Each structure stands twice: as C-alpha cells, then as structure tokens.
Copies of this chain bind each other. A is one copy, B any other.
Amino acid sequence: MPADAQISRLKPRRTDIRRENERTILDAAEKVFAEAGFGGATMQLIADMAGLPKANLHYYFATKEDLYRRVVQQIFEIWLDAAMLFDDAPGPVEGIGGYIDAKMDISRTHPYGSKVWASEVMHGAPVIQDYLETTLRDWTEGRIRAIQRWIDEGKMRPVNPRHLLYMLWATTQHYADFGHQIQTLNNDRPLSDRQWLEAKASVKDLVLRGIGAI
C-alpha cells in the first residue's frame, strides 16, 4: 500500500461515493430546477448536467419530488444559518445591517437556490408548506419581537416590523431572483465585486436610514 493512501485514494470508499454523488446530483438539480422550473426540469437534463446516467439518479433519489424537496430544504437552512446574526446584535445597525450583508452574500453565492425557493413559494409552496407554518412562522415572530425591542429602546423609529422584514427579504433576494434582469440593465455584464459592494452599501444605507437607525 502506497504511503499517500490516506490522502489520495485511487479507489474511493463506499461512504465517499454516496456523499459525492449525492452532492453532484443536488448541485446539478439546483441549477436545472432554477433555470427550468420544476415542471420544465427533466431527470434527463439533471443527469446530463451531473454527468451521470438517468437511472443512477433514481438510485439515490427515489422520485423527482424527493430530489426537489432536498434542494429546497438546502437553501432554507442556509438562510436560517445567516439569520443567527440577528439575535446576538445589540442594535439594528449591527443586527439588520449584518443580516442584509449576509443575505446579499447568499444571493451572490447561491442564486440558484434562491430562485428555486421563490418558484416554490410562487406556486403555493406545495412541498414546503409545513416549513412555512412552523419554522418560518416561529422565526418571524421572534425577529419581530427583537425589532420591537429595539424600537422600545429608542434605537430606531417605530416602523411596522413585519413589513420591514418583507422589505429585507424582497430586496436582498431580488439580486438573486432577478439577477438576469439586473445583468441586462448592467450592459449584459454580471455585477463586479465593486458593484456588489455598492449594492450592499446602498441597500443598507436606504434601510438603516429608513428606520432611523443612522
């Protein structure tokens, strides 16, 4: 057995095979679902994107719905992680400002997931309705209380916390969901690093001024 066996196996272990193939398929599925919608996506398209035979997809994911559900859950968990920033913040500048930064970063790094989520909700959330009614509802109520506390402490103007949250979601996700439109209005070029910084700064400036936190 060669010395580098543990850092570069020629023959992958069983557990690695499963993990890597599931990752490959999920990434391909996220892209195809985002670009074609659930109805427009085909298992063959996802298989081609993943570089695997179609039958292999069905070995790891029983049905198209199962695969789709996993993709939607993925972006939801990423967003929930980003929302941690909200809680530990002493005031709206750090809390809401940091949340905007985090969500804008996700819109740039995970545009496909955001689109799949948007599409799912637009179609009536047929597969994640329970998430909306449990996790999202609880999370929203908690954040509304946090915002209300900042208002009570005089750290920001008295605004409707619920509609403030909707504005945060709408604006940050817009840069992912409507990225194609933004790119077209940017002379068909993707936003540069500098332009992304400008976007984040503009959104934070508008929101934090709007709530009277700066």
> Which of B132, B185, B212 has a CB less than 8 Å from the CB of A184?
B132
Number of copies: 2
Interface residues of A in 174-214 (CB under 8 A from B): 174-175, 177-178, 180-182, 184-185, 188, 198-199, 202-203, 205-207, 209-212
Residues of B within 8 Å of A133, CB to CB, are 184, 188
Q: How far is the CB of A147 from chain B (nearest CB, A)?
A: 12
A167 beta carbon closer than 8 Å to chain B? yes
Residues of B within 8 Å of A212, CB to CB, are 209
How many residues of chain A are within 8 Å of chain B by beta carbon?
Answer: 55
A55 beta carbon closer than 8 Å to chain B? no
**Interface stretch (choices A46-54, A78-86, A117-125):** A117-125
What's the Cα separation between A167 and B100 when bound, in Å? 13
Q: Is the CB of A118 within 8 A of B122?
A: yes
Most chain-B Cβ atoms within 10 A of its Cβ — which of A118, A166, A207?
A: A166
Q: Is the CB of B35 within 8 A of A38?
A: no
- The chain A residues found within 8 Å of chain B, CB to CB, are 34-41, 115, 118-119, 121-125, 129, 132-133, 136-137, 140, 157, 159-160, 162-164, 166-167, 169-171, 173-175, 177-178, 180-182, 184-185, 188, 198-199, 202-203, 205-207, 209-212
Closest 9 CB pairs of A and B: A39-B40, A39-B39, A210-B210, A170-B174, A163-B202, A206-B210, A37-B37, A170-B170, A160-B202
